[in-house]
A and B are shown apart, each in its own frame.
Chain A
Amino acid sequence: MENMEKIIVEIDSMLEELIPNYLKNRTSEIEELKVLYGKGDLASLGKLAHKIAGNSGSYGFHEMGQYAKEIENKCSEGSSEGISESINNIENYLANIEVKYI
């Protein structure tokens, strides 16, 4: 995994008690993304990516939402090109974010 600078994400303090569990669940979904990609199951991969895209932005993790959207779009096109990179981007993002509550 690349050693990246911390990514500071500002999140509404109203959501503070939800964030640790939210990030834990997204981290465990990375493995599921990799398994589905490895199987070539673009239908299921697209559905999971759609879910992550929807909830990431809602919580304030817009960059992760964008990567998930890329995966969703590729799956709906029937193309696996670039998906591996997007999954890596999500993994790096989660490993390097620092939440600042505002």
Chain B
Amino acid sequence: MSVFKDKEIYIIDDDESILLLLTKILENKGVTVKTFTDPQEGLATLTLGAPSLVMLDLDFNESEISGYDILKVRMGDAILPKIPFIVFSGHSGKKHIKQAIELKADDFIPKPINAAVIQAKLKKFFQSEEIKSVTFNENERPSVQANLKGEISHISENCLQITSQMKFVQGTKLDINGPLIKNIGAEICQFETINDAQALDVGYYKNKAKILGVNNQIATNIRRLDF
């Protein structure tokens, strides 16, 4: 199944020819695209919608705000940092890239745009997201055996960290499944939370769990991960 399936991308750029080009490249891959020439409109729609990713030009000719301003607004928002932002610009000197990174852009693509580069970056991005997604349930409380979705935000040979909308107290045993667990051969492992969940942004929690039963092969696989 394509990693682009069911993905929606917002693109904000005041150059309509770039919007048409990117739309063609992305729709060719099965992505749903929404475009904005007005950055203010793009920002307002972002706060209402939930795209999979945003592609943002940093330089607007006629607007009062720049792409850098949008990145600053995003940094101060409760929800927007959860949406990946890939920025692009015709100014691709070190200071421009540095500024974008300091403003928490997830990636920087210099103009002129190269279709193959865009597709490869997005594919890698969405594949990485898929690998990190997990479903898990508490196996000590059979009455609460709903599958919950989360994302592994960190993993080492003896513990992992899951961000989700569920909080667990210390000592909770979890049953965790997902592509990354399978890739490293950790289906045989047991997971138990080390401490009480830490609240993050509205409705999200960070749960840290120890991994029991890690053998040499699993440890090697974890060390090879690009985390």
A→B interface (CB under 8 Å) = 12, 14-15, 18, 22, 25, 47, 50-51, 53-59, 62, 65
Contacts and interface: CB of A to CB of B under 8 A. Distances in A.
A14 B24 contact: yes
SS of B interface (majority): loop
Contacts of B111: 54-55, 57-58
Given A14-B115, A54-B90, 15 more contacts: A12-B115, A14-B25, A15-B21, A18-B21, A47-B61, A50-B90, A51-B61, A54-B18, A54-B112, A55-B15, A56-B112, A58-B18, A58-B113, A58-B114, A59-B21
B112 A18 contact: no
Interface string B10-33: 000001011011001100100000
Contacts, number: 47
Contacts of B113: 57-58
B59 interface: yes
Contacts of B61: 47, 50-51
A4 B130 CA distance: 53
Interface of B: 15, 17-18, 20-21, 24-25, 28, 59, 61, 90, 111-115
A62 B112 CA distance: 9
Contacts of B112: 53-58, 62, 65
Nearest to B23: A18
